[in-house]
């Protein structure tokens, strides 16, 4: 299965940078001192920067469904157990070994509206993560333990 996810702006992102820009404009419009106006300009500038860089949601290029992403990092020794768990039962991944290394990354894309989750395992090769498993599709009820 070949899936491709692209980064997009979520509603949360839009609310954050809109709030910053509106708050900054209000501070500039108020008849107050220079320090408050400078703070207003700073808030507007921060909001404009966030418009350019903040994208925290993902979209499936085929279907257009929006997904959230969760990343979990493991040590190299966990590569084989996680690979076998992904092929049969993803909830059996041992999360007590998480964050003891970063040689293996498990990406989980999930959408509660569609009820689907996609999992893929990556291995760290100097300077980047390379896929070391295919993309597995499961119902979201099968990966509840992984997305908490």
Residues in the chain, pLDDT under 50 = none
Choosing from 56, 73, 90, the residue where a domain stops is 56
Choosing from 36, 56, 76, the residue where a domain stops is 56
CA dihedral 21, 23, 24, 30 (to 10 degrees): 140
75 shares a domain with 17: no
Residues sharing a CB contact under 8 Å with residue 46, sequence separation 6 or more, in sequence order? 20, 24
Instruction: Single out the residue of 54, 52, 25, 51 nearest to residue 39, CA to CA.
Output: 25
Choosing from 56, 77, 92, the residue where a domain stops is 56
DSSP 103: S
Domain count, the chain: 2
Cβ atoms of 106 and 74 closer than 8 Å: yes
80 shares a domain with 49: no
136 shares a domain with 83: yes
Residue 6 confidence (pLDDT): 94
127 shares a domain with 93: yes
Q: Which residue range(s) make up the domain with 47?
A: 5-56
Runs of H (alpha helix) within 67-108: 79-88
Residue 131 confidence (pLDDT): 93
Residue 98 confidence (pLDDT): 87
38 shares a domain with 78: no
Residue 1 confidence (pLDDT): 60
71 shares a domain with 43: no
pTM assigned to the model? 0.82
72 shares a domain with 47: no
Residue 95 confidence (pLDDT): 87
70 shares a domain with 143: yes
């Amino acid at each position: 299965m070949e899936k491709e996810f692209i980064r997009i702006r979520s509603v949360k992102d839009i609310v954050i940078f809109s709030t910053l820009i509106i708050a900054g404009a209000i501070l500039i419009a108020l008849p107050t001192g220079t320090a408050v106006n400078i703070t207003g300009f700073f808030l507007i500038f921060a909001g404009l920067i966030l418009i350019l860089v903040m994208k925290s949601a993902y979209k499936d290029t085929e279907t257009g469904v929006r997904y959230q992403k969760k990343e979990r990092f493991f040590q190299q020794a966990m590569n084989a157990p996680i690979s076998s768990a992904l092929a049969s039962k993803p909830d059996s991944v041992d999360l007590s070994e998480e964050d003891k290394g970063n040689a293996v990354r498990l990406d989980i894309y999930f959408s509660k509206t569609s009820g689907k989750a996609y999992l893929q395992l990556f291995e760290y090769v100097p300077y980047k993560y390379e896929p070391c498993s295919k993309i597995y599709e499961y119902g979201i009820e099968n990966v509840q333990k992984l997305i908490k």
